[in-house]
Amino acid sequence: MTYDEAQALARSRGVSRPVYGTIRFLILPLVKLLWRFRITGSEHIPKDGPCVIAPNHKSFYDSFFVGLATPRHVRFMAKKELFEGRSARLLSALGAFPVRRGEADPDALETARMVLREGGVLALFPEGTRHREPDELRAPRRGAGRLAIEAGAPIVPCAISGTEKLFAGWLPRPVRVQLAFAAPIPAGDLEATPEAAADLIENQVWPEVEREFRSLRAKQGLIAALLAALAAGGGVAIRQQRKPKTRAQKVKAKLPKRKKRIGRR
């Protein structure tokens, strides 16, 4: 599938509801089992109308976790190279549309505007590209803010943690994936200028993303510390059981136990 074909398909057909619903129904329980996927703040996603979700970006799989976190159909951009293989039609059915990375792409922006004009949910990563450092976020770009202002759509800050190392080869790692939505930030009354878009993202949206991200990382660290403490406690108990007895303890163990005498009244 060519770039132009994928773009046209995204605009004419959009999400395939049967495919999207079936895959979400099948995959959501699986990721909850494999990676203990935990979602908080899903009530912040508007039940209808246009909406921009602005998550941080750690992994190729982030878009899929965002899509699993809400029953609304989420549309998202994906690099155009993904639409050159066999997965192109499936990605399109799941709401993806191609974007030329590293350059201005008016076609992708027009598809994004169309999604919002039709009252859809659009997920855009303000960082622009993946940042695999587990405890850090990149500085955001203002594109998501510009689209939200133009469409008069609220923008929902979103933080995701744990997706940077999901697999060891083909095997899933025992990591915990967490995702949190913050309260939506209105953009409809703002002027559609670069300065307003930058202020919206840098001073309103991104601080909320960073706050939620730090909270998720703190919870992850606390869980890891508790598990380590439990493991250490179990190891101490086992070592105590295996510790050889002293001579005095051996002699005491061999002595017959005295029965307690019950006095008569």
For residue 216, is it within any domain?
yes
- Whole-angstrom distance, CA of residue 41 vs CA of residue 50: 18
Q: How many domains does the chain have?
A: 1
Neighbours of 106 (CB within 10 A): 8
- Boundaries of domain holding 36: 3-220
Per-residue pLDDT, 252: 60
Indicate the burial class of 162 (C-beta count within 10 angstroms; 0-12, 13-18, 19 or more).
buried
Indicate the burial class of 215 (C-beta count within 10 angstroms; 0-12, 13-18, 19 or more).
middle
For residue 181, is it within any domain?
yes
For residue 240, is it within any domain?
no
For residue 112, is it within any domain?
yes
Read off the pLDDT of residues 2-45 as tens digits, 9 standing for 90 and up. 999 999 999 998 899 999 999 999 999 999 999 999 999 999 99
Per-residue pLDDT, 117: 96
Write down the pTM of the prediction.
0.82
Name the more confident of 203 and 262: 203
For residue 257, is it within any domain?
no
For residue 225, is it within any domain?
no
For residue 94, is it within any domain?
yes
Residue 159 sits in a domain whose CATH number is: 3.40.1130.10
